[in-house]
Structure 1
Amino acid sequence: MKRLKLAFLTLFTSLAIFTNAQITQVVRGTVVDQESQFPLIGVNVAIPTADGSFLGGTSDLDGNFRIEGVPLGRMSITFSYLGYNDAQLTDIIVNSAKEVILNIKMQEKVMELDEVVVYAKRSGEVSNEMATVSAREFSVQETNRYAGSRGEPARMASNFAGVQGADDSRNDIIIRGNSPQGVLWRLDGFNIPNPNHFSIPGTGGGPVTILNNKFLANSDFFTGAFPAEYGNGIAGVFDLKMRNGNNAKHEFSAQLGFLGTELMAEGPLGNSGASYLATYRYSTLQLFQFLNINVGTDAVPAYQDAAFRLNFPMKKGGNFAIFGIGGLSRIDIILSEDIEVDTSTLIFGSNDRDQYFGSRMGIVGATYTQPININTFVKAGVSASHSYVDANHKYFERSIVDNKYRVDTLLDVLDYTFIENKYSAYVYTNWKVNKKLSLKAGVNTDIYQLNYDDQVRLIVPSATGGETTFQNWQTRWDASDINTLIQPYVQIKYRLNEDLTLTSGLTSTYYSINAQSVSPVEPRLGLSYQIDPKQKIGLGLGVHSQIQSNYLYYYGNRVDNSGSPETYNKDIGLTKSNHLVFSYDRNLAKNMRLKFETYYQYLYNIPVEKEKSSFSLINSGSGFSRLFPNELSNVGDGRNYGVELTVEKFFTSGYYFLVTSSVYNSEYRGSKQVWTNTAFNGNYAMNGLFAKEFNISDKSSINIGGKVTLAGGRRYGNVDREESARQLEIIYKDDDEFNELQFKPYFRTDAKVNYRYNTKKVTHELAIDFVNIFNTKNILTLTYAPDNPLGPIREEYQLGFLPLFYYRIDF
């Protein structure tokens, strides 16, 4: 019996030791010079641990470092190297399932003196060395951390000062009062089409992103006065980067959530250092609809998306990569088959027609990087992208028989297909002349292949309540064309000393569609001055330009089928914008900062209607409606000015917070030459975010966070009731109160709970994002609803309380 007891005691002791054994992970990566991209040998890497000691390592001949035995949890990592400024990263999540792979760029010191103070690069600082103001790096951790962001870069960026989301049902972003159309999306150096499901031509967002944060690396976001390499954008830039897969270990991930079921795999390709990365997501909203969970709309959208990246290191430090992303989406809003219709949840459609809508987007590309010597490297890339949108509308009339709806009329009234293919190439060289001076020069080229077809039958309701009549089919678009966009640029960075940095650049724009779409010289200038270790000021200014949404050039009209319609706007030119930004940064504590920015932006050459009206393209770009312009002329202008304040505590000591506020004014002049509020002039926006992490054990933790948003309401004008009744949609009067009225302020509170548990080789993560926990009814827009018993003009509300969840397993 004693031997049996001793055996059991030994077994239980062994199990306890095994269960409580500390689980660790590997942190590894590469360190290179910021300007030349050349590997740095002998960089010291230090990771502080909870007991006050340090784990460390050094980079090898290829700049690679590897640290084993790193405890799980959130870590900070410091990189130091003789002759270079320190680089410090915080909020690095280490779990049991996946190795942490980091790619670090370090900046060389201008001079070597004992009294020189070292200023370290910190988390949140932009990776593009040419940016001096209005720039912010965002990480995958941030897209996961922010309550209400749904893991999307665009919704996450709406928390930054000067940025406001358009509405709950879409992720369009408004930067300093600009139209969402003014935002440039880039991926690995290529200008890409709208990367969202259910995208509408002429808009910059959509309900669900195609971008999956699992394949993104840390990326840059610009809100003004961006460097010369970024052309064809007047408001802001999303400069996204794909990460490489793990080249030493196969890793997998699976996720079930409100927004989709996801799979991911990555790992090495042979023993050459090559790697693969692949993701796939399929929407699961149909499942939640079946379970009677409100998904925000009666029509259930279906979508799927995928991405891949193959990376091949080459000889002499070269690198070759092939990548691709793509998405398909479809939604059918069929109301004619319903006996009773609750139109309060028809965010995506109108209540008098069946609507069938589909879209797809994709890009495949290849890039090649080759160092020429220790100070110079060249990078080139080619890609092909595709965007497609089609829609069909069937108008119906109903009558009520025995307290049920009966369809009396069902007739096609709209059919359109828009296709845009683009073939892109870029090449640039980066030359580190010396410690003080670096130069970057290159050219971006896009060839657009365009095909547009659009036919519509206008509906003429009876003024006396009689039978509705329909006009003959009209062709609004019937175009096929090829155009070329070329944007050369050169930019320099000159560091006069450790404290003062000057950046300047020139770019130009040439679009072959017409003679007006040429901008020979667009100068950019930036200045950064480190007053002392705690304070820094910056100045940025520049001239920016952007082509119009391509489909706007080809709008025409004909009623018969003889020939193609005459295009109305083939001769409109570029929209231009002048930016002036001043910034002030102050470190309030070791991991806390304050940032203040003030700006003035003047926009000109904005297309407006040739006839006297309040119409301007400055108000377009969000929502689910396309724009149908009459004849336009580049004589409009606008102005945006304001101040922004950010107080941010980075994620250390188990918590973080971010408070941002903006006060601004956004106005424009149409062909009436009268200053008027833009549609996006909310005047103010404020966000407050926080999160606290509690370590339950060395293997598990729970993170609780929240967000509060308050912003001025959207602008609108007086409704023209007669014209709205004729067209069966809201038409605003073009009077002195155009855009002078304002919806009530937007207010929303979100909360998020995240639980993470690590076993030896598997990490489990469960998160619930409670969007709009107080079910605040924020107004989205006005719609025309003739069946509404309270009157035909109805307020449509944004999403109410919406719980979003996901369960992810990494192994």
Structure 2
Amino acid sequence: MTVLIAQPQHSLKGIVIDKHSRQPLEFINVQVMGLSKGAVTDANGQFAITSVPPGIYRLQASAIGYQTNLTPEYILSGKDLYVSIEIEENLTELEGVTVTSSPIRRNIESPVGLRIIGLQEIEKSPGANRDISRIVQSYPGVGFSPIGYRNDLIVRGGGPSENRFYLDGVEIPNINHFSTQGASGGPVGIINADLIREVNFYSGAFPGYSNNALSSVIDFKLRDGNMDRNSLKATLGASEVSLSSNGHLSEKTSYLVSVRQSYLQFLFDQLGLPFLPTFTDAQFKIKTRLNAYNELTVLGLGGIDQMKLNTKADDEDNQYILSYLPKIQQETFTLGAVYRHYAGAHVQTVVVSHNYLNNRNTKFLNNDESLPENLILRLRSVEQDTKLRLENTSSFRNWKINIGANLNYTQYTNTTFQRVFIRSGQTYDYHTYLGILHWGLFGTINYTSQDERFTASLGLRADANNHAAAMKQLSDQLSPRLSLSYRLTEQLSASGSAGLYYQLPPYTGMGFKDSHDRLINKQLSYMSVSQFSAGLSWQKNNMFELTVEGFYKDYNKVPVSIADGIPLTCKGNEYGVVGNEALASTAQGRSYGVELLFKWLIAQKLNLASSITLFKSEYRTNKESEYINSAWDNRFIFNVRGTYNLPRNWSVGMKISCIGGAPYTPYDVDKSSLVTAWDAQAKPYYDYSRYNEERLSTFAQADIRIDKTFYLKHCMLGFYIDLQNITASKLKQADVLMSTGVIANPEAPQAERRYNMKTIKQDSGTLLPTLGITFEY
């Protein structure tokens, strides 16, 4: 006799409140998207939808006189789930008409360049291992590194230093462990995906509250703790083991907390990689609803990183990386609080936060630490930012007005010993302390027409600081932006945006000193980019979306290296530090292209997306020089990915990615072979007179993921297999130039001695299998 164990079912409970009055609403229809189940709220605004099978769901709340609200995705697993939904009055809605909301959402301020990433993609994207940076890399306009092991964000031809990140409205300095100081990339994300509700990814038309971004803004929306039950979740992922919990501390306070410990060093050791990263991180969120009109959220995020060199993997393939890669130790944390006061049509927000980064890099020639004279680099750098942001948002029928101000104080210290070779060998040995006060104002006016066919957003920012004369006037950094959208038919919309955005040079450059202990980059200005984008969006049945967007980015006053003539926007995709050199704000750049995206969504079944980006990215050192290819000029990016849910809680997913070959620069063999030059940085020098004249070949790879979930009475047990690069595709890179360590002419004067050189073939790419296990109680 066969015994069948029925899958447990649970309840979706919650409350619906008016977004402005904060009062509970009765007679609101709440539906589970993809299921023929729903409920109506009672006099206290409460609802309960029973007998719901486990899964990932959206809820839709609707009523005559209110705007239909489609919630973010929620996971219903081992226990009942409690959800709070806010809806707004619809003063323009025709009486008796109820509109069905689309899961493909738009934003008045950002009608183009905004992608909203839900839990289905976060949890099950093939090849991403729940790392947001890798998930974003499958979206239009976002490049990826075929070499692997890093997740730098290269958005619309811009560099990895041009992105900004927010966590529930609190700015965080970076989202990666072992981040490159002065940029943002690294090998693995620092944010635990178990705590994320959804992600707003802006590749253009950035929101008014954000500043210091030229290419993208990523705003992470964290979950609220379950006000109904406490739960515990353990996850064994690709690179770490994590433990998280969420629930409530009282009737008014909810919490989220997680701790993760990596075992990435063991994986890298087994793969024979030249470095062994170890990390620990933790984060939390506590949200207190003080009363119906006031709420306080306190959150924190921290990480401890240590990267050692795997000298056992000193085979020929790894000699190049081992020769120059430093030991890295980092500690980073963010602590922030968000207070909101709801006063009818007006909402006041206060955001206070403190960011901290302690970065230490050490490098010895030939990794021999026994001799003090072998020291090439010793960097000890601390960045601290204390931030205050005040906002007020007011709604008046068709209008919404947001105004605000921010005040930041930065402390930057740097103690550096560094050997360099420009025209001759030099040594930098200095200590820097900077205290910089920043201030800014911003405002946005949004308008929606009576029939909701037309929307417009007009905004203005202004930023300044007291570091240098070129940065002190708000009027010198005025940042206007305009967005328009018009629904041509019920299915077709046209949208566009234009804006001017500013970003500070990295603190590593602002605090750099020469061999005479003098700050030599005081003349630097804010970088800027003028962005223009326009597109068409076609939607049908809330299931299909086809968008075409064109963009143009015009860069100005970009810091360029005086030593090699390369702008900082073309650097930042390697470990270490970017910007610690003599700079001049003279470089210009441009990036332009077109993006095509197709999405097909079937609730509870299918999530399919395909995109292709054709673009060009180039720069010049000043107004008189010619444009040449930037480091990110891959010319095209293609992605297709999909996840399909099968019966019995199985799901399968696949992603195919293809990217054009990146340009590269040949080596300067003559300079690299000099003993004094090689010993200064332990890696070859490029021939910058031939910058990016060569190009790598196109690279493509495929990833597959299979999930199986078991839902028991009070718990959930999930397994997944993620196979990255199942085709074991390899990228043929230019041969690396290396020193043999043997001096060819020992009888020559010291400045003329040269090493015998050799070349090492560089082929990157391997099949990377991962088994993940998740348990939730």
TM-score by length of 2: 0.90
Match of 1:257 in 2: 237
CA distance in 1, matches of 2:139, 2:186: 19
Match of 1:505 in 2: 459
Would you say 1:654 and 2:654 are equivalent positions? no
Match of 1:466 in 2: none
Q: How far does residue 757 in structure 1 lie from its aligned partner after superposition?
A: 0.8
- Percent identity over paired residues: 22
Alignment of 1:581-660 (within 5 A): 581-609=533-561, 614-627=565-578, 631-652=582-603, 654-660=605-611
Distance 1:654 1:193, change over 3 A: same
Opposite residue 168 of structure 2, the aligned amino acid is D
After superposition, what is the alpha-carbon deviation per residue over 1:578-632, rounded to whole angstroms, capped at 9, x for unaligned? 1111121101444111011011111111123568x64222212222243356543
CA distance in 1, matches of 2:152, 2:20: 33
Opposite residue 446 of structure 2, the aligned amino acid is K
8 A Cα contact 1:771 1:801, kept in partner: yes
CA distance in 1, matches of 2:412, 2:421: 29
CA distance in 2, matches of 1:794, 1:125: 50
Match of 1:445 in 2: 407
Opposite residue 669 of structure 1, the aligned amino acid is R
Match of 2:378 among 411, 415, 418: 415
Would you say 1:394 and 2:364 are equivalent positions? yes
Match of 1:705 in 2: 653
Would you say 1:574 and 2:530 are equivalent positions? no
Match of 2:672 in 1: 724
Match of 1:6 in 2: none
Would you say 1:801 and 2:767 are equivalent positions? yes
Opposite residue 616 of structure 2, the aligned amino acid is N
Match of 1:359 in 2: 330
Deviates more, 1:272-281 or 1:613-622: 613-622
Distance 1:103 1:718, change over 3 A: farther
* Corresponding pairs, count: 752
Q: How far does residue 781 in structure 1 lie from its aligned partner after superposition?
A: 7.0
Q: How far does residue 709 in structure 1 lie from its aligned partner after superposition?
A: 0.6
Alignment of 1:196-215 (within 5 A): 196-215=176-195
Distance 1:659 1:141, change over 3 A: same
Distance 1:586 1:30, change over 3 A: farther
Match of 2:696 in 1: 743
CA distance in 1, matches of 2:544, 2:474: 42
After superposition, what is the alpha-carbon deviation per residue over 1:501-558, rounded to whole angstroms, capped at 9, x for unaligned? 1111111011221121245221111111122221111111111100011110122222
Match of 1:677 in 2: 629
Would you say 1:792 and 2:753 are equivalent positions? no
Q: How far does residue 658 in structure 1 lie from its aligned partner after superposition?
A: 0.7
8 A Cα contact 2:508 2:578, kept in partner: no
Q: How far does residue 36 in structure 1 lie from its aligned partner after superposition?
A: 7.9
8 A Cα contact 2:230 2:245, kept in partner: yes
Would you say 1:279 and 2:227 are equivalent positions? no
Would you say 1:82 and 2:67 are equivalent positions? no
Opposite residue 625 of structure 2, the aligned amino acid is Q
Partner SS for 1:350: helix
Partner SS for 1:344: coil
CA distance in 2, matches of 1:397, 1:275: 49
Match of 2:746 in 1: none
Q: How far does residue 35 in structure 1 lie from its aligned partner after superposition?
A: 7.6
Partner SS for 2:486: strand
Opposite residue 237 of structure 2, the aligned amino acid is G
Distance 1:453 1:33, change over 3 A: farther
CA distance in 2, matches of 1:110, 1:341: 69
Q: How far does residue 659 in structure 1 lie from its aligned partner after superposition?
A: 0.3
8 A Cα contact 1:326 1:361, kept in partner: yes
Q: How far does residue 286 in structure 1 lie from its aligned partner after superposition?
A: 4.5
8 A Cα contact 1:309 1:321, kept in partner: yes
Would you say 1:531 and 2:488 are equivalent positions? yes
Alignment of 1:539-578 (within 5 A): 539-558=496-515, 565-578=517-530
Match of 1:152 in 2: 131
8 A Cα contact 1:44 1:59, kept in partner: no
CA distance in 2, matches of 1:598, 1:508: 27
Distance 1:334 1:175, change over 3 A: closer
8 A Cα contact 2:588 2:619, kept in partner: yes
After superposition, what is the alpha-carbon deviation per residue over 1:124-153, rounded to whole angstroms, capped at 9, x for unaligned? 425x55222111111233122211112111
Distance 1:241 1:354, change over 3 A: closer
Opposite residue 444 of structure 1, the aligned amino acid is N
TM-score by length of 1: 0.87
CA distance in 1, matches of 2:162, 2:201: 14
| CA radius of gyration, larger in | 1
Distance 1:772 1:742, change over 3 A: same
Would you say 1:169 and 2:149 are equivalent positions? yes
CA distance in 2, matches of 1:222, 1:397: 42
Opposite residue 731 of structure 1, the aligned amino acid is Y
Match of 2:38 among 55, 65, 68: 55
Q: How far does residue 229 in structure 1 lie from its aligned partner after superposition?
A: 1.9
Q: How far does residue 115 in structure 1 lie from its aligned partner after superposition?
A: 9.3
Match of 1:302 among 245, 265, 278: 278
8 A Cα contact 1:334 1:354, kept in partner: no
CA distance in 2, matches of 1:380, 1:808: 37
Q: How far does residue 220 in structure 1 lie from its aligned partner after superposition?
A: 1.0
> Which residues of structure 1 form unaligned runs of 5+?
1-11, 399-405, 461-469, 559-563
Match of 1:757 among 684, 690, 710: 710
8 A Cα contact 2:708 2:718, kept in partner: yes
Distance 1:226 1:31, change over 3 A: farther
Partner SS for 2:365: strand
8 A Cα contact 1:200 1:389, kept in partner: no
CA distance in 2, matches of 1:459, 1:616: 19
Q: How far does residue 797 in structure 1 lie from its aligned partner after superposition?
A: 3.9
Match of 2:92 in 1: 111
Distance 1:90 1:409, change over 3 A: closer
Match of 1:341 in 2: 314
8 A Cα contact 2:109 2:205, kept in partner: no
8 A Cα contact 2:72 2:118, kept in partner: no
CA distance in 2, matches of 1:229, 1:358: 32
CA distance in 2, matches of 1:493, 1:268: 36
Opposite residue 58 of structure 1, the aligned amino acid is T
Match of 1:403 in 2: none
Would you say 1:496 and 2:469 are equivalent positions? no
CA distance in 2, matches of 1:334, 1:457: 23
Match of 1:687 in 2: 639
Opposite residue 351 of structure 2, the aligned amino acid is G
Distance 1:115 1:748, change over 3 A: same
Distance 1:318 1:330, change over 3 A: same
CA distance in 2, matches of 1:334, 1:689: 35
Opposite residue 684 of structure 1, the aligned amino acid is F
Opposite residue 596 of structure 2, the aligned amino acid is L
Match of 1:350 in 2: 321
